[in-house]
Every structure is written in C-alpha cells, then in structure tokens.
C-alpha cells in the first residue's frame, strides 16, 4: 500500500507513470512529428515497472521494439495546481528510465487515431534505475543521459535540451490531475531511438550519477485470448 513503503522503492508504490512525449526537438524531428505547442503526455500502468535483474519482455505483437532513454522525476509531495515557481518543492528525486515502445504498434495507433497504450504500456515497458535523491542532483537540467545497445552508443542527450522544463511540466500536469507522492514523470527522449532484438543488452545511465543494464527477451503469443 502506498505510504507504507519508502520512496526509494517507488516502483513498489503502484502510483502513476506519466510520460511526456516530443520534449526534445531532435527526437520529434527524427519521428517526423511537429513540435508540441503544449506538453503531450500519456500514462503507463505501474505494472510496467521493471528493475535490474529482470528482463524487458518484447510483446508478442511487436515487430519493432524501440528504446527511449529518459530522465524520470519522482514526486515526493502531492501537487495540485502548483505554480511553476513552487513545483520543485514537490520533487523527491530522480531515476533513469526507459520508455520502451512498440514502434510499429504506435505507428498503427497513430494512423487510426487510437491511444498509444498497446505501444507504450505493456508489462516491462518502464525499466528504472535506483532512486537518486534530489540532493544529489543540484540541477536536473544539466544532466547527460546515454544509452548503449550491446556496448554501442545509441543515445546521448543533455537534459538542457528539453522543450518544456521540469517545473513547467509539473505545474502543467498538476493543473490537469493531482500528482501524488510516488508518481513518476518521464520527461521525454532525446534523439537516437532505435530497435532492439531478443538477447540484446541495453545499458544506460545518467553520467556520473547512476547506470543500469537490462536484457531483452521475446514474449510468447498467448495460445488463445478466447474467453478473456
């Protein structure tokens, strides 16, 4: 139950995972998408969390699983309609996160005007690092985040390039719904997203702060969904 566990194990809280999209101009460009005039966001279920030691499971319906490395911001105090200048008081700390994306499924959803849940919200779509307390990161807009696949660098971005800053995002979201203690905001991916296959190893980090490794495995197709 939320509240009975330490925030340093936020992935056990079962709180909201709020993901911001197209928050880096070069990533929006590589996707062929327009820059957002206001933050674009979507949710993942809390069962999407996965920790080091467990694999990222590629959904059986996905032919093109993409990595997106993102800075996660952990809410430490309830935020309801907070102004930008008070927003950082609601932050407990940070984590490195992956917004794993079934890109082919997302393309289909975009064409049909459907939500992105199948593409972004499957089990293990949100690998997360250890919690990093706020005190260890004096300026979250001055971080280098990176990601390698099988030892090769794929993504390298600087959080100073975010279109919408962390205080703006917290303020904006908190005017739409209340952010609760234990909620995590994924702040969007820099450029360089790309495919991973079963047996690939993903390593990612916030330079000089934290790193993590995950193996990708293939999910199996259910024999039948009849009777569900």
Ligand X SMILES: O=C(O)/C=C/C(=O)CC(=O)C(=O)O
Which of 62, 68, 155, 173 touches ligand X by CB under 6 A? 68
| CB closer to Mg ion, 124 vs 189 | 189
Nearer to Mg ion, 28 or 137 (CB): 28
3-state SS track over the chain: CCCCCCHHHHHHCCCCEEEEECCEHHHHHHCCCCCCCCCEEEEECHHHEECCCCCEEECCCCCCEEECEEEEEEECCCECCCCHHHHHHHEEEEEEEECCEEHHHHHHHHHHCCCCHHHHCCCCCEEECCCEEHHHCCCCCCCEEEEEECCEEEEEEEHHHECCCHHHHHHHHHCCCCECCCCEEECCCCCCCEEECCCCEEEEEECCCEEEEEEEEECCCCCCCCCC
Residue 25 near ligand X by CB under 6 A: no
Subset of 51-70 contacting Mg ion (CB under 5 A): 68
**Under 8 Å between Cβ of 141 and 162:** yes
Is 67 a residue that touches ligand X (CB under 6 A)? no
Distance CA 68, CA 73 (A): 16
**Would you count residue 99 as binding Mg ion (CB under 5 A)?**
yes
Binding mask 129-168 for ligand X (x = CB under 6 A): ----------------------------------------
Cβ proximity to ligand X: between 101 and 174 the closer is 101
Pick 65 or 82: Cβ nearer ligand X: 65
Residue 31 interacting entry, from Mg ion, ligand X, none, C-beta within 5 to 8 Å by type? ligand X
User: Distance between CA atoms of 218 and 210, rounded to whole angstroms?
Assistant: 27
Piece of the chain touching Mg ion by CB under 5 A; list 129-137, 143-151, 167-175, 185-193: 185-193
Binding test (CB under 6 A) with ligand X, winner from 188, 192, 205, 219: 188
Supply φ then ψ for residue 22, to 5 degrees: 55, 45
Question: What is the closest distance, in whole angstroms, from the C-beta atom of residue 28 to ligand X in the complex?
Answer: 6
Using CB under 5 A as the binding rule, whether residue 189 contacts Mg ion is answered as: yes
105 binds ligand X (CB under 6 A): no
- Is 68 or 183 the residue whose CB approaches ligand X more closely? 68
99 sits near ligand X (criterion: CB under 6 A): yes
Rounded to the nearest whole angstrom, what is the least distance from the CB of residue 22 to Mg ion in the complex?
Answer: 9
**How many Cα neighbours within 13 Å face the side chain of 110?**
11
| Interface contacts to ligand X, rule CB under 6 A | 19, 21-23, 27, 31, 33, 68, 99, 101, 188-189
């Amino acid at each position: 139950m939320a509240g009975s566990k330490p925030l340093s194990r936020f992935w056990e809280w079962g709180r909201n995972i709020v993901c911001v999209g197209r928050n880096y101009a070069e990533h929006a460009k590589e996707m062929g998408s327009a820059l957002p005039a206001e933050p674009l966001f979507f949710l993942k279920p809390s069962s999407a969390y996965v920790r080091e030691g467990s694999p990222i499971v590629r959904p059986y319906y996905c032919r093109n699983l993409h990595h997106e490395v993102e800075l996660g911001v952990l809410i430490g105090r309830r935020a309801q309609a907070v102004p930008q200048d008070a927003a950082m008081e609601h932050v407990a700390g940070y984590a490195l996160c992956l917004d794993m994306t079934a890109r082919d499924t997302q393309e289909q959803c975009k064409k049909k005007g459907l939500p992105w849940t199948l593409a972004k919200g499957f089990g293990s779509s949100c690998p997360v690092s250890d919690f990093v307390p706020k005190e260890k990161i004096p300026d979250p807009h001055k971080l280098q985040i990176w990601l390698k696949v099988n030892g090769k660098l794929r993504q390298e971005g600087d959080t100073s390039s975010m279109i919408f800053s962390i205080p703006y995002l917290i303020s904006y979201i908190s005017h739409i719904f209340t952010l609760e203690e234990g909620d995590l905001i994924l702040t969007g991916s820099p450029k360089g997203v790309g495919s991973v296959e079963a047996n690939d190893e993903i390593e990612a980090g916030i330079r000089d702060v934290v790193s993590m490794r995950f193996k990708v495995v293939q999910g199996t197709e259910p024999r039948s969904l009849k009777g569900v």
